[in-house]
Amino acid sequence: MNGLKQEKIKETLNATRKRRKRQIPRVYQLKLQNLSKKDRKKLDRLFLEAKWLYNYVVADIENRLTKDSWKLKEVEIKTPEGFEKRDINTLSSQMRQGIIERIKIQGIKKKFRVLGLHQIPENSEPANAQLVKKPSGYYLYLTCYLQKEKALEEIKKKQTRQPIGIDLGIKHQITLSNGEKISWYAEETKRLKKLQKTLSRKQKGSKNYFKTKLKIQKEWEYIQNKRKDALNKAISHLKKFSLIAIQNDSIKGWHEGYFGKQVQNTGIGGITARLKRLATLIPVFFVDRYEPTTQVCSFCGHRQKIPLSERTYKCPLCGKEIDRDVNSAKNILKIAVEKLKGEGKLLKTLPVDCGEVTPVEWAITHGEAGSLPL
């Protein structure tokens, strides 16, 4: 009987792997609605015990990370008054087994109403869900698999045969080789600064202190959502191009340098990660960060040093004048096309002296951070 069961499991796994090759993953965010005080109390306790157990094991991995760690029913935590022992009652034994990597939600049999089900396609295949706690409430991150062919059809309906080069920047976050510029900026709000001043005057550990702290967390979430929304709209616009070429710039280096505040307030560091995920459907080519795309004339190929303060590229050889960022974006596209031609991936000629790139299988990157998989 055990042998037959194992064979069935193997067959099921093999069938799933074959099916996944023709599918793409998508994560949908659903918000839990109409939570009672009892529901919130239980969910809060669930996350609290998960934090206690995780921190307890991590604090002394050499001695506490054993095969029997999941059997712990009591942990010692650090408080302002010293160390105290706390009971682990809400977490099930199976939750404890996966606490270090992930916390599995079990034992909650009640049905919850969620907001956002309309965004999930009818023919999608749900795979797993993660319960995430945010300042604004509880959310389910539902991972679904969609048919790759259908997703490609939807994109091709709006897609043009034009390739595009992208130059990332500080003043204009995205500059395209066709001259388009996309900018957004979501800085810290006046309300956030006011709340931070209010928090500094509150007694640490008091009820008003925690109320103000929660308001600050909600305000930060609002600012982050604005940045994500701008990024989503930019990526949606880029989907219409048949080939995307971008330089693999060190955004982290920008953040640590003179432009830290501008980089933080725009969140342009997420563009590269989003384009890597988009590469499962649209060809995306990453140009080496050390390519001198800013110094080279996109018309004649002449190279010269140009200071950062000079925003117009003037070529002394051919006499052309062009916006510095547009010139860089054009060079990025040229480099990508030449590389792809050398690899034999360009098949047809496009109307802008470039080629159409056949879709290439790229590794799927999962960028959603999870807390509690269902």
The pLDDT score that the predictor gives to residue 213 is 93
Same domain, 28 and 165: no
Count of domains in the chain? 2
> Looking at residue 368, what is its pLDDT?
31
pLDDT score at 282: 80
Q: Are 280 and 301 in contact (CB under 8 A)?
A: no
| Statement to judge: residues 143 and 181 lie in one domain | no
What is the predicted pLDDT for the residue at 202? Answer: 92
Domain containing 311 equals 159-357
Residues 106 and 172 in one domain: no
Q: Is residue 362 part of a domain?
A: no
228 and 326 share a domain? yes
Let me know whether 94 and 205 are in one domain: no
Residue of 290, 315, 320, 288 whose CA lies nearest to 304: 315
* Predicted local confidence at residue 175, as pLDDT: 92
- Any domain includes 154: no
Q: Residues of the chain whose pLDDT is less than 50? A: 104-107, 347-374
pTM for this predicted structure: 0.65
